[in-house]
Structure 1
């Protein structure tokens, strides 16, 4: 039986939290690199590129293959061209190998059955985010989805998370963020939202050092972590 959720809303990061998207990100990156006549990145390199949006992902991939994007106007134009091409390649086939993490769908179903409002807040561009959620049959679980580009700010800025909560109709003090990177922790802290971190995702630092309120090792542990977090917050100072 799933532990009852004591919060009104839960906001999830996407890549590295709800879904393992590395296989398809690697395929799209390598298709882009093929067009540029450049060597491939290895799939195991890709998690280190993820978390700050598609432009950073492309920038890190180019550096990894020995072709860093230069500074200045010419470099900015190159980045925009490569970004747009990567996104187009990724959107064309976003779920060849992407899957929800074990236990994710069952937990989402259980939380919704309890009347908990769910949302997604990710730095992944909005178009691919919506496409992936739809293709995986997950879009119906969420009352709000805010991806990169919906507003100029990105996590760890709190603005995307606060917008997600506004669209969900949930106050920050009645919500929890679940993510996998320091960018999720930073956004949650700045928004006044407690945060659970999964330790299996794409964090660029050891998850235990990212400053989350609770650390879990599987998605199935999230409901119990929500209850534990609520109990901790209810204790007198």
Structure 2
């Protein structure tokens, strides 16, 4: 592939975003969805609701996903496998498909007004991508729903053929697809998985606090921790 020439300015030539907890506020988007999914999978059975909530670390009293939950950074497949241990009458494939379909229509809460924010980054000559451990189908559905899919030249999920975070492979696939040097790419995410993948890929790493992880959690793996992605332009220009 011929290298794509882009203006070299600031800290980076490309930005690769995680989706949930980064582009979209994690708790405002996913807590209500998770509660509804648990009740539906358990068919309203109170005992099964408790069991399903337990295996994915969902606090039923608070109505929130706990920081220890596999729902934060793992793939739909891993989540389905965990749920299947307490729902033996439903197969893993069936549960996984249910998660994919229901997540694609989840109500979204953008971390910042995304359209003008992303348009500004593209206007600076930055290549933008999304890499999520959600499915590619779910990622594209969410980006379309938010009206911002066209701003991204690369969108990948765990099932896109590049692997899943914290492995560096899908991040390096973004760099290759855009003709970018990994060290000139910033991986932006809300979880340790995101930042570990970025470090392994030789990229710059930026943590954001719109997910379950705290600044103290992210700091050991991040070059910078920001309140949200809206603070990226200032960091990029320094």
TM-score class, shorter-chain normalisation, is: 0.7 to 0.9
Residues 219 and 225 of structure 2 are in contact (CA less than 8 Å); yes or no, is this contact kept in structure 1?
Answer: no
Gaps of 5+ in 2: 1-8
Map 1:124-139; keep pairs closer than 5 Å: 124-139=134-149
Gaps of 5+ in 1: 63-67, 229-237
Taking structure 2 as the reference length, what is the TM-score of the superposition?
0.77
Map 1:161-172; keep pairs closer than 5 Å: 161-172=171-182
Tell me the equivalent position of 2:30: 22
Give the counterpart of 2:118 among 97, 108, 111: 108
Give the counterpart of 1:56 among 78, 82, 104: 78
State which drifts further: 199-208 or 47-56. Answer: 199-208
1:32, CA displacement in angstroms?
A: 4.0
1:166, CA displacement in angstroms?
A: 1.8
Change (3 A) 1:110 1:159: same
Residues 167 and 200 of structure 2 are in contact (CA less than 8 Å); yes or no, is this contact kept in structure 1?
Answer: yes
Change (3 A) 1:16 1:51: same
1:209, CA displacement in angstroms?
A: 4.2
C-alpha distance in structure 2 between counterparts of 1:163 and 1:136, whole Å:
24
1:19, CA displacement in angstroms?
A: 0.8
C-alpha distance in structure 2 between counterparts of 1:129 and 1:27, whole Å:
21
Residues 16 and 188 of structure 2 are in contact (CA less than 8 Å); yes or no, is this contact kept in structure 1?
Answer: yes
Matched, 1:69 2:85: yes
Task: Give the 3-state SS of the residue equivalent to 2:65 in structure 1.
Answer: helix
Give the counterpart of 2:95 among 65, 82, 88: 82
State which drifts further: 41-50 or 159-168. Answer: 41-50
Cα RMSD of the aligned pairs, angstroms, is: 2.8
Matched, 1:190 2:203: no
Tell me the equivalent position of 1:226: 236
Quick check: which one's helix share is greater?
A: 1
Taking structure 1 as the reference length, what is the TM-score of the superposition?
0.77
